[in-house]
Amino acid sequence: MSGSRGRKAAILLALALAVAAAGWWFDLPGRFGWREDRNEALTLYGNVDIRQARLGFRVGGRIAEALVDEGDRVAAGQLLARLDAGPAEDAVRAAEAQVASLEAVLEKLVAGPRPAEIEQARAAHVERQADLENAELAFERQNQLRPSGAASQANLDQATAARDMARARVESARAALRLLEDGTRPEDIAAARANLDAARASLAAARTGLADTELRAPSAGVILSRVEEPGAIVASGDVVYVLSLEAPVFVRAYVGESDLGRIRPGMTVEVTNDTEPGRAHRGTVGFVSPVAEFTPKSVETPALRTDLVYRLRIVVDAPDGSLRQGMPVTVRVPRPAAEAGGG
């Protein structure tokens, strides 16, 4: 008899466990926040996204000033810190001087030779022609006297050389005059313009480097940490401040595959937290992930597809600081009838 009672107790225990397991399985939608009843409100659970910016200088140098501290609230564009700007200012001045020098070179090439320079070259050409005429007369005299022996061969050779040199000087003076009259070559002007453009680009880079010695807040928020202090030498990209971005507030929640059709971007939802459960914040669904999460790719049977969940991003309007980053929240999606009536 005792054995029979033991078998009955084991059977009853097995039935109780089976009922409990079935209840747990069929209550999966409730744990993920959705129900089979499509007419009731949908409740989802999630967290406020943590949004931080790690701020640093784009250039390296020595920190001269750190103007805000941990816990300070800052506005977009507010100055947070400065580097010693001396090296950057020197680089700007050097680049400005280089630009001014190359501008003068370009202006000179575009203007071409001055009239006085052309006249000077023309006078030099006339002078060389006169020298050539005198050299040719001297050569003729020596050449005529040579047959009679009145002039030596050496004198004739000197006269010949002087005449040839005078002719070469005339050609040189004529070529120099022609160059001045033709003006500057277009290729030289183009090269000068290219050099000037390069110098101006260097100047712009130097001015950008000077501007980058100031660190400004990219948006409004609260300083979470101040990593470096005045006097510290930092490299480009080193973190100086960590900024918490308070607005807009993003909530990350998940919806089951069976209720995915009830969620659409742009719909209005209510967001509450455990601190003030009776105070609802108005939110808007801004993003629905196209990719399922938390389910292996091998799970493809119709019975198990309800385990698929999809990530949502909800943007909360007019945050007042009551929704802090990382805080767990509850998201309530209105009933389809209420949505239709509200539309």
Final residue of a structural domain among 183, 204, 225: 204
The position carrying tokens 């790719």 is 297
Same domain, 46 and 64: no
Judge whether 26 lies within some domain: no
Q: Residue 343 burial (CB < 10 Å; 0-12/13-18/19+)?
A: exposed
5-14, 39-48, 200-209, 306-315, range with the lowest pLDDT: 5-14
CA distances from 232 to 36, 82, 141, 229 (A): 61, 11, 90, 6
Same domain, 120 and 167: yes
What pLDDT, on a 0 to 100 scale, did the predictor assign at position 302?
A: 54
Judge whether 152 lies within some domain: yes
Final residue of a structural domain among 204, 233, 267: 204
What pLDDT, on a 0 to 100 scale, did the predictor assign at position 72?
A: 95
- 188-237 confidence digits (pLDDT tens): 889 999 999 999 999 999 999 999 999 999 999 999 999 999 999 999 99
What pLDDT, on a 0 to 100 scale, did the predictor assign at position 307?
A: 67
What pLDDT, on a 0 to 100 scale, did the predictor assign at position 154?
A: 83
CA–CA separation, 285 and 287 (whole Å)? 6
Judge whether 314 lies within some domain: yes
Domain of residue 325, CATH code: 2.40.30.170
69-78, 89-98, 252-261, range with the lowest pLDDT: 252-261
CA–CA separation, 50 and 326 (whole Å)? 6
Band (140; pLDDT cuts 50, 70, 90):
confident
Asked if the peptide bond before residue 218 counts as cis, ω within 30 degrees of 0, the response is no
What pLDDT, on a 0 to 100 scale, did the predictor assign at position 10?
A: 66
The total number of structural domains in the chain stands at 3
The position carrying tokens 């945050």 is 319
Strand order in the sheet with 241-245: 52-55, 241-245, 221-226, 73-74
On the CB side of 39, how many CA atoms lie within 13 Å of its CA? Answer: 0
Q: Which sign, positive or negative, has the C-alpha torsion 192, 194, 198, 204?
A: positive
Band (308; pLDDT cuts 50, 70, 90):
confident
The position carrying tokens 């050496």 is 154
Q: Name the range with the highest mean pLDDT among 294-298, 321-325, 335-339.
A: 321-325
CA–CA separation, 114 and 108 (whole Å)? 10
Judge whether 31 lies within some domain: no
Residue 329, beta-bridge partner list? 46, 273
Q: What is the mean pLDDT of residues 91-116?
A: 91
User: Are the C-beta atoms of residues 165 and 135 closer than 8 Å to each other?
Assistant: yes
Judge whether 126 lies within some domain: yes
On average, the pLDDT of the chain sits at: 82
> Domain range spanning residue 159?
98-204
CA–CA separation, 287 and 311 (whole Å)? 8
- Nearest residue to 33 via CA among 249, 250, 258: 258
Same domain, 137 and 194: yes
Judge whether 93 lies within some domain: no
Judge whether 34 lies within some domain: no
Percent residues over pLDDT 90 in the chain: 38
What pLDDT, on a 0 to 100 scale, did the predictor assign at position 4?
A: 60
Q: What is the mean pLDDT of residues 3-16?
A: 63
Band (110; pLDDT cuts 50, 70, 90):
confident
CA–CA separation, 270 and 248 (whole Å)? 16
User: Are the C-beta atoms of residues 315 and 266 closer than 8 Å to each other?
Assistant: no
Band (117; pLDDT cuts 50, 70, 90):
confident
3-17, 113-127, 199-213, 262-276, range with the lowest pLDDT: 3-17
User: Token pair for residue 234?
Assistant: 């930092």
Same domain, 155 and 120: yes
Please give the residue that has the higher pLDDT: either 294 or 228. 228
Judge whether 89 lies within some domain: no
CA–CA separation, 209 and 59 (whole Å)? 7
User: Token pair for residue 157?
Assistant: 């050779």
Q: What is the mean pLDDT of residues 249-254?
A: 90
- 23-43 confidence digits (pLDDT tens): 544 454 444 444 444 556 788
